[in-house]
Every structure is written in structure tokens, then in C-alpha cells.
Structure 1
Amino acid sequence: MGHRPSLPDSLPVIGAVPGFPNVILAFGRQHIGLTTGPKTGRLVAQLAGGVPDI
């Protein structure tokens, strides 16, 4: 019901907000959040914990 957050280029937004490093965005997975949610959660946890990319 209603609009869902997505972007015209179909790419998700995952990362810190410029100027607000304690705010991490994770949206725009083009209605497949059930399958991409776990990976997105891992990426957000790594960003929040300061873990470098593996």
C-alpha cells in the first residue's frame, strides 16, 4: 500500500549520510527486500561497527 522508497536508476542506497556519520541509510532494493535484506543488514552492521570490507 503506497509508495516504496526506490530510485530511478534501480540501485540501492546503502551508506552514511554526508555530514551525519551516525546515520546510515539502507533502502531502495526494488521490492526484493526479503531476498536482499540479510546482505544489506550485514553491510549496515559493518558500516556501523567500522569493519572494513571483506
Structure 2
Amino acid sequence: AGYALSSEVVDETTFKIDLNSADHRKRAGIKESDVLLMIQEFLNAGFKIHLEK
């Protein structure tokens, strides 16, 4: 459920995920340890990842 609060569909192949804000992650219920697991699952599903600061 927390992942839905942190993601935005850009188009059929692109999702924007906001993981920079600790407050946002806390409100969305995403633990810091979940971030790497989420990235790994996106890679396993064949998504390309672009990281921004």
C-alpha cells in the first residue's frame, strides 16, 4: 500500500517514485530497508531505473 502512495504513473512504461523524503516514506509506510527490495523487484521485472537526486 505504501508503494502506491510513493509512485506516479507517467506513461505505460514509466513510473516516477518519490523515495527522497524520509517524512514521505514514513507517511507511506515504507521502511528504508524496503527501498532496495523495491528497486530489485523493478529490475527483476525488466524495468530500467533512472535515479535522480
The two structures have a TM-score, normalised by structure 1, of 0.39
**Larger of the two Rg values belongs to structure:** 1
More strand, by proportion = 1
More helix, by proportion = 2
